[in-house]
Amino acid sequence: MKEKLTCYIIDDEYLAQEILEEYVMKVPFLELRGTFMSPLEAAVRIKDDKPDLLFLDINMPDLDGLSFIPMLNPKPMIILTTAYDQYALKAFELEVKDYLVKPFPFERFYKSVLRLYQEHSATLQPEKSDIKAEPKNEPGYIFLKVGHRIRRIAISDIIFVEGTRDYLQIHTAKEKIMTLLNFAKLEELLPTRGFARVHRSYMVAIDKIDHIEKNRIKIADQLIPVSDTYAEAFYRMLRGIL
């Protein structure tokens, strides 16, 4: 595992800074590299130092935390620390790692950073060809923004996905769910062996396919074309399963 996660604190309240500094000092795998009153003050240091993690407040003078996030390149992992809960949806869209509402106890803080430490360390593990990889325990659901809500959707309910302009329409046995998302992002969320892109406008759940004939998939009383662009990869996937 990576020995430590380097981190910065950006918060314009001295008391909040002190609490976070105290929390960080209690965690052996965190290394505090700096504490700043504003994003503008921290920007140059972040660019040069490239910390692993930012503890970032939202409401600050000059530049708020949510506006600062898109400016970061490369973007470190970010945990928002704020006294306001109404920005959670926006934070979800910006792909922050966690959202801590002040005042939060040390236990909540530790749970958050421990998860990030484990995830980050796992990505740095060298491949060992002589060790058989353990099967990955993937969650049975995904979270998607649907209208003004974030919906939990069971992966097993998804039959196929249809692209319509700027939206994706997720077809389940009970309903059609419209979400403002692209296929590339959805593919990151779904298990790779369970779903296949078969057309510019379609993705299908492998275990829901009834049959395939003449490059057309019969699935839930729907005929979905397999385009030339995706045919080779799709049939190669099926050969690996069969």
The CB-side HSE value for 146 (13 A sphere, CA atoms) comes to 13
**Does 10 have pLDDT greater than 50?**
yes
- Residue 119 is predicted with a pLDDT of 82
Query: Which is more confidently placed, 161 or 4?
Result: 161
- Residue 139 is predicted with a pLDDT of 66
The β-bridge partners of 190 are none
- At 132, the pLDDT band (50, 70, 90 cuts) reads very low
E strands, the chain, in order: 5-10, 30-36, 53-56, 77-82, 98-101, 141-146, 149-154, 158-164, 167-172, 176-179, 195-199, 202-205, 211-213, 216-219, 222-225
Q: Which whole number is the average pLDDT over 132-139?
A: 50
**Does 129 have pLDDT greater than 60?**
no
The β-bridge partners of 150 are 145
Q: Which whole number is the average pLDDT over 99-121?
A: 89
Strands 30-36 and 149-154: unpaired
Strands 216-219 and 211-213: antiparallel
Residue with tokens 């950006």: 10
Whether residue 208 contacts residue 160, with contact meaning beta carbons closer than 8 Å, is answered with: yes
Quick: pLDDT tens for 21-64. Answer: 999 999 999 999 999 999 998 998 998 899 999 999 998 888 88
Domains of the chain plus CATH, in order, are: 5-123 (3.40.50.2300), 141-241 (2.40.50.1020)
Q: How far apart are CA 26 and CA 14, in angstroms?
A: 19
- Residue 192 is predicted with a pLDDT of 75
- Residue 226 is predicted with a pLDDT of 93
- Residue 170 is predicted with a pLDDT of 95
Whether residue 96 contacts residue 69, with contact meaning beta carbons closer than 8 Å, is answered with: yes
Within the chain, how many helices (H) and strands (E) appear? 7, 15
Please state, rounded to an integer, the average pLDDT across all residues of the chain. Answer: 86
- Residue 235 is predicted with a pLDDT of 84
- At 3, the pLDDT band (50, 70, 90 cuts) reads confident
**Does 134 have pLDDT greater than 50?**
no
- Residue 236 is predicted with a pLDDT of 80
Whether residue 198 contacts residue 234, with contact meaning beta carbons closer than 8 Å, is answered with: yes
Burial 75-95 (b: 16+ CB within 10 A, else e): ebbbbbbbeeeebeeebeeee
**Does 127 have pLDDT greater than 60?**
no
- At 166, the pLDDT band (50, 70, 90 cuts) reads confident
Whether residue 56 contacts residue 81, with contact meaning beta carbons closer than 8 Å, is answered with: yes
